[in-house]
Structure 1
Amino acid sequence: MAATFAPSSTVLGLGRSSLSSTSPGLVKLPNVPRSRVAKFRKCTCFQRDWLRKDLNVIGFGLIGWLAPSSIPAINGKSLTGLFFESIGTELAHFPTPPALTSQFWLWLITWHLGLFLCLTFGQIGFKGRSDGYF
Protein backbone atom coordinates (compact mmCIF):
# COMPACT_ATOMS: atom_id res chain seq x y z
CA MET A 1 0.00 0.00 0.00
CA ALA A 2 1.61 3.25 -1.12
CA ALA A 3 1.27 6.45 0.85
CA THR A 4 -0.13 9.43 -1.00
CA PHE A 5 0.47 13.02 -0.05
CA ALA A 6 -1.66 16.01 -0.80
CA PRO A 7 0.03 18.20 -3.43
CA SER A 8 -0.58 21.46 -1.59
CA SER A 9 0.90 20.34 1.73
CA THR A 10 4.04 21.99 3.00
CA VAL A 11 6.65 20.60 5.33
CA LEU A 12 6.69 22.50 8.59
CA GLY A 13 9.70 24.74 8.88
CA LEU A 14 10.77 24.49 5.24
CA GLY A 15 7.98 26.17 3.30
CA ARG A 16 6.24 29.11 4.77
CA SER A 17 6.66 30.06 8.37
CA SER A 18 3.90 28.05 10.02
CA LEU A 19 5.75 27.27 13.26
CA SER A 20 5.03 29.24 16.38
CA SER A 21 8.29 29.11 18.26
CA THR A 22 9.74 31.53 20.78
CA SER A 23 13.31 31.03 19.64
CA PRO A 24 14.52 30.29 16.13
CA GLY A 25 16.34 27.08 17.14
CA LEU A 26 13.39 25.37 18.85
CA VAL A 27 10.73 23.45 16.95
CA LYS A 28 7.50 22.33 18.60
CA LEU A 29 6.15 18.89 17.81
CA PRO A 30 2.42 19.40 17.23
CA ASN A 31 0.96 15.92 17.83
CA VAL A 32 2.93 14.50 20.77
CA PRO A 33 0.68 13.83 23.75
CA ARG A 34 1.98 15.09 27.08
CA SER A 35 1.37 11.72 28.77
CA ARG A 36 3.80 10.03 26.41
CA VAL A 37 6.52 12.61 27.12
CA ALA A 38 5.92 12.43 30.88
CA LYS A 39 6.36 8.64 30.84
CA PHE A 40 10.01 8.92 29.88
CA ARG A 41 10.80 11.52 32.51
CA LYS A 42 9.55 9.38 35.41
CA CYS A 43 11.76 6.34 34.77
CA THR A 44 13.09 5.07 38.09
CA CYS A 45 14.63 1.85 36.81
CA PHE A 46 18.21 3.11 37.22
CA GLN A 47 19.59 4.14 40.60
CA ARG A 48 21.13 7.57 40.79
CA ASP A 49 23.93 6.37 43.08
CA TRP A 50 24.94 3.48 40.80
CA LEU A 51 28.56 3.36 42.01
CA ARG A 52 27.58 3.16 45.68
CA LYS A 53 31.20 3.81 46.64
CA ASP A 54 32.37 2.84 50.07
CA LEU A 55 35.76 3.68 51.54
CA ASN A 56 35.85 0.32 53.32
CA VAL A 57 35.97 -1.45 49.95
CA ILE A 58 38.81 0.77 48.72
CA GLY A 59 40.82 0.33 51.92
CA PHE A 60 40.33 -3.40 52.29
CA GLY A 61 40.76 -3.95 48.54
CA LEU A 62 44.08 -2.11 48.51
CA ILE A 63 45.32 -4.00 51.56
CA GLY A 64 43.94 -7.21 50.07
CA TRP A 65 46.03 -6.67 46.94
CA LEU A 66 49.19 -5.31 48.55
CA ALA A 67 49.50 -8.30 50.89
CA PRO A 68 49.67 -11.05 48.24
CA SER A 69 51.54 -8.94 45.71
CA SER A 70 54.26 -8.27 48.28
CA ILE A 71 55.11 -11.97 48.73
CA PRO A 72 58.52 -12.69 47.16
CA ALA A 73 57.47 -15.26 44.57
CA ILE A 74 59.18 -14.13 41.33
CA ASN A 75 62.88 -15.04 41.55
CA GLY A 76 62.92 -14.02 45.21
CA LYS A 77 61.25 -10.66 44.54
CA SER A 78 57.67 -9.52 44.94
CA LEU A 79 55.44 -8.12 42.22
CA THR A 80 55.11 -4.83 44.09
CA GLY A 81 58.88 -4.65 44.54
CA LEU A 82 59.51 -5.35 40.87
CA PHE A 83 56.96 -2.74 39.84
CA PHE A 84 58.39 -0.03 42.10
CA GLU A 85 61.94 -0.97 41.08
CA SER A 86 61.02 -0.59 37.40
CA ILE A 87 59.48 2.82 38.16
CA GLY A 88 62.78 3.92 39.68
CA THR A 89 64.72 2.58 36.71
CA GLU A 90 62.53 4.44 34.25
CA LEU A 91 62.66 7.66 36.28
CA ALA A 92 66.47 7.58 36.07
CA HIS A 93 66.17 8.71 32.44
CA PHE A 94 63.03 10.79 32.99
CA PRO A 95 62.44 12.86 29.88
CA THR A 96 62.76 9.73 27.76
CA PRO A 97 59.69 7.46 27.96
CA PRO A 98 60.03 3.74 28.68
CA ALA A 99 60.81 1.56 25.69
CA LEU A 100 58.13 -0.86 24.50
CA THR A 101 60.44 -3.77 25.37
CA SER A 102 60.94 -2.54 28.96
CA GLN A 103 59.88 -4.80 31.82
CA PHE A 104 58.09 -1.77 33.28
CA TRP A 105 55.02 -2.36 31.08
CA LEU A 106 54.67 -5.98 32.18
CA TRP A 107 54.83 -5.10 35.87
CA LEU A 108 52.56 -2.07 35.41
CA ILE A 109 49.82 -4.01 33.64
CA THR A 110 50.06 -7.06 35.91
CA TRP A 111 50.05 -5.05 39.14
CA HIS A 112 47.15 -2.80 38.13
CA LEU A 113 45.09 -5.63 36.66
CA GLY A 114 45.36 -7.48 39.96
CA LEU A 115 44.46 -4.34 41.91
CA PHE A 116 41.39 -3.59 39.80
CA LEU A 117 40.20 -7.18 39.96
CA CYS A 118 40.58 -7.15 43.72
CA LEU A 119 38.66 -3.86 44.01
CA THR A 120 35.92 -5.06 41.64
CA PHE A 121 35.38 -8.35 43.43
CA GLY A 122 35.59 -6.54 46.76
CA GLN A 123 32.82 -4.16 45.68
CA ILE A 124 30.67 -7.03 44.44
CA GLY A 125 31.22 -9.04 47.62
CA PHE A 126 30.77 -6.16 50.04
CA LYS A 127 27.61 -4.78 48.44
CA GLY A 128 26.24 -8.27 47.77
CA ARG A 129 26.67 -9.13 51.42
CA SER A 130 25.07 -5.88 52.63
CA ASP A 131 22.14 -6.28 50.18
CA GLY A 132 21.56 -9.87 51.29
CA TYR A 133 22.45 -11.67 48.06
CA PHE A 134 24.78 -14.01 49.97
Structure 2
Amino acid sequence: MAASMATSSVIGLGSSALTSPKKASLVSDFVRSPVRARNPMKPVRASGGRFTCFQRDWLRADYSVIGFGLIGWLAPSSVPAIDGKSLTGLFFESIGNELAHFPTPPPLASPFWLWLITWHLGLFLCLTFGQIGFKGRTDDYF
Protein backbone atom coordinates (compact mmCIF):
# COMPACT_ATOMS: atom_id res chain seq x y z
CA MET A 1 0.00 0.00 0.00
CA ALA A 2 2.86 2.38 0.80
CA ALA A 3 4.51 1.64 -2.54
CA SER A 4 1.33 2.48 -4.44
CA MET A 5 1.03 5.73 -2.48
CA ALA A 6 4.58 6.72 -3.41
CA THR A 7 3.94 5.87 -7.04
CA SER A 8 0.71 7.80 -7.12
CA SER A 9 2.34 10.84 -5.54
CA VAL A 10 5.12 10.82 -8.13
CA ILE A 11 2.63 10.46 -10.95
CA GLY A 12 0.64 13.26 -9.45
CA LEU A 13 3.61 15.61 -9.89
CA GLY A 14 3.70 15.01 -13.66
CA SER A 15 1.14 15.83 -16.28
CA SER A 16 -2.05 13.87 -16.74
CA ALA A 17 -0.55 12.26 -19.88
CA LEU A 18 1.85 10.27 -17.68
CA THR A 19 -1.00 8.62 -15.81
CA SER A 20 -2.45 7.07 -18.97
CA PRO A 21 -1.29 3.58 -19.95
CA LYS A 22 -0.01 4.94 -23.30
CA LYS A 23 3.66 5.80 -23.71
CA ALA A 24 4.46 9.41 -22.85
CA SER A 25 5.50 11.68 -25.70
CA LEU A 26 7.84 14.53 -24.90
CA VAL A 27 8.03 17.43 -27.31
CA SER A 28 10.80 19.96 -27.00
CA ASP A 29 12.71 22.44 -29.13
CA PHE A 30 15.93 20.84 -27.90
CA VAL A 31 15.05 17.34 -29.06
CA ARG A 32 14.66 17.10 -32.81
CA SER A 33 12.31 14.84 -34.59
CA PRO A 34 14.01 11.84 -36.22
CA VAL A 35 12.24 12.77 -39.47
CA ARG A 36 13.50 15.99 -41.01
CA ALA A 37 11.50 18.14 -43.33
CA ARG A 38 12.69 17.87 -46.92
CA ASN A 39 13.69 21.02 -48.72
CA PRO A 40 11.51 21.10 -51.84
CA MET A 41 14.11 23.17 -53.71
CA LYS A 42 16.77 20.43 -53.58
CA PRO A 43 16.19 17.22 -55.52
CA VAL A 44 16.55 14.01 -53.56
CA ARG A 45 18.07 11.05 -55.37
CA ALA A 46 18.58 7.52 -54.22
CA SER A 47 22.14 6.22 -54.31
CA GLY A 48 23.05 2.90 -52.81
CA GLY A 49 19.92 2.67 -50.68
CA ARG A 50 20.45 6.11 -49.14
CA PHE A 51 18.81 9.38 -49.98
CA THR A 52 21.17 12.24 -50.70
CA CYS A 53 21.10 15.75 -52.11
CA PHE A 54 24.44 15.45 -53.89
CA GLN A 55 25.54 13.47 -56.87
CA ARG A 56 27.89 10.59 -56.19
CA ASP A 57 30.62 12.16 -58.34
CA TRP A 58 30.23 15.67 -56.94
CA LEU A 59 33.70 16.86 -57.99
CA ARG A 60 33.33 15.75 -61.62
CA ALA A 61 37.04 16.31 -62.21
CA ASP A 62 38.07 16.81 -65.80
CA TYR A 63 41.70 16.31 -66.86
CA SER A 64 41.49 19.07 -69.45
CA VAL A 65 40.73 21.54 -66.65
CA ILE A 66 43.81 20.39 -64.75
CA GLY A 67 45.99 20.69 -67.87
CA PHE A 68 44.68 24.08 -68.94
CA GLY A 69 44.76 25.35 -65.35
CA LEU A 70 48.39 24.35 -64.97
CA ILE A 71 49.31 25.99 -68.28
CA GLY A 72 47.17 28.98 -67.30
CA TRP A 73 49.21 29.41 -64.13
CA LEU A 74 52.65 28.58 -65.51
CA ALA A 75 52.36 31.18 -68.28
CA PRO A 76 51.80 34.27 -66.08
CA SER A 77 54.01 33.03 -63.25
CA SER A 78 56.92 32.59 -65.68
CA VAL A 79 56.91 36.24 -66.76
CA PRO A 80 59.99 38.01 -65.34
CA ALA A 81 58.32 40.64 -63.17
CA ILE A 82 60.14 40.46 -59.80
CA ASP A 83 63.58 42.13 -60.18
CA GLY A 84 63.92 40.58 -63.64
CA LYS A 85 63.05 37.09 -62.41
CA SER A 86 59.82 35.14 -62.62
CA LEU A 87 57.88 33.69 -59.70
CA THR A 88 58.40 30.17 -61.05
CA GLY A 89 62.12 30.83 -61.49
CA LEU A 90 62.44 32.20 -57.94
CA PHE A 91 60.54 29.21 -56.55
CA PHE A 92 62.66 26.64 -58.38
CA GLU A 93 65.86 28.54 -57.54
CA SER A 94 64.92 28.51 -53.85
CA ILE A 95 64.28 24.77 -54.07
CA GLY A 96 67.81 24.31 -55.43
CA ASN A 97 69.30 26.48 -52.70
CA GLU A 98 67.52 24.52 -49.99
CA LEU A 99 68.50 21.16 -51.51
CA ALA A 100 72.17 22.25 -51.29
CA HIS A 101 72.00 21.60 -47.52
CA PHE A 102 69.50 18.74 -47.81
CA PRO A 103 69.31 16.98 -44.46
CA THR A 104 68.55 20.22 -42.65
CA PRO A 105 65.15 21.79 -43.34
CA PRO A 106 64.81 25.36 -44.58
CA PRO A 107 64.72 27.96 -41.80
CA LEU A 108 61.54 29.96 -41.27
CA ALA A 109 63.25 33.15 -42.49
CA SER A 110 64.12 31.52 -45.83
CA PRO A 111 62.50 33.08 -48.93
CA PHE A 112 61.66 29.52 -49.99
CA TRP A 113 58.48 29.61 -47.87
CA LEU A 114 57.25 32.86 -49.46
CA TRP A 115 57.77 31.54 -52.99
CA LEU A 116 56.27 28.14 -52.09
CA ILE A 117 53.09 29.60 -50.61
CA THR A 118 52.67 32.26 -53.31
CA TRP A 119 53.24 29.88 -56.21
CA HIS A 120 50.91 27.17 -54.87
CA LEU A 121 48.21 29.62 -53.82
CA GLY A 122 48.14 31.00 -57.36
CA LEU A 123 48.06 27.49 -58.84
CA PHE A 124 45.19 26.33 -56.66
CA LEU A 125 43.19 29.50 -57.33
CA CYS A 126 43.71 29.04 -61.05
CA LEU A 127 42.62 25.39 -60.87
CA THR A 128 39.59 26.20 -58.72
CA PHE A 129 38.35 29.02 -60.93
CA GLY A 130 39.07 26.91 -64.00
CA GLN A 131 36.92 24.08 -62.62
CA ILE A 132 34.12 26.49 -61.73
CA GLY A 133 34.26 28.16 -65.12
CA PHE A 134 34.48 24.96 -67.15
CA LYS A 135 31.69 23.15 -65.31
CA GLY A 136 29.59 26.30 -65.16
CA ARG A 137 29.85 26.59 -68.92
CA THR A 138 29.03 22.91 -69.57
CA ASP A 139 26.06 23.00 -67.16
CA ASP A 140 24.74 26.24 -68.77
CA TYR A 141 25.02 28.39 -65.66
CA PHE A 142 26.53 31.16 -67.77
What's the TM-score once normalised by structure 1's chain length? 0.70
Q: Pick from 126, 129, 134: which aligns with 2:137? A: 129
Q: Pick from 100, 103, 106: which aligns with 2:111? A: 103
Structure 1 gap ranges (5+)? 6-31, 33-38
CA distance in 2, matches of 1:124, 1:88: 34
Partner of 1:8: none
Structure 2 gap ranges (5+)? 1-12, 20-33, 35-45
What's the TM-score once normalised by structure 2's chain length? 0.66
Partner of 1:28: none
Partner of 2:39: none
Matched, 1:81 2:89: yes
Count of residues paired in the alignment: 101
**Kindly, what percent of the aligned residue pairs are identical?**
79
Give the root-mean-square deviation of aligned CA atoms.
2.1
Provide Cα deviations, 1:10-51, integer angstroms capped at 9, x if missing partner.
xxxxxxxxxxxxxxxxxxxxxx9xxxxxx9x54131110011
Q: Pick from 51, 56, 59: which aligns with 2:64? A: 56
Structure of higher CA gyration radius: 2
Provide Cα deviations, 1:59-94, integer angstroms capped at 9, x if missing partner.
000000000000000000000000000000000000
Pick the structure with more strand per residue: 2
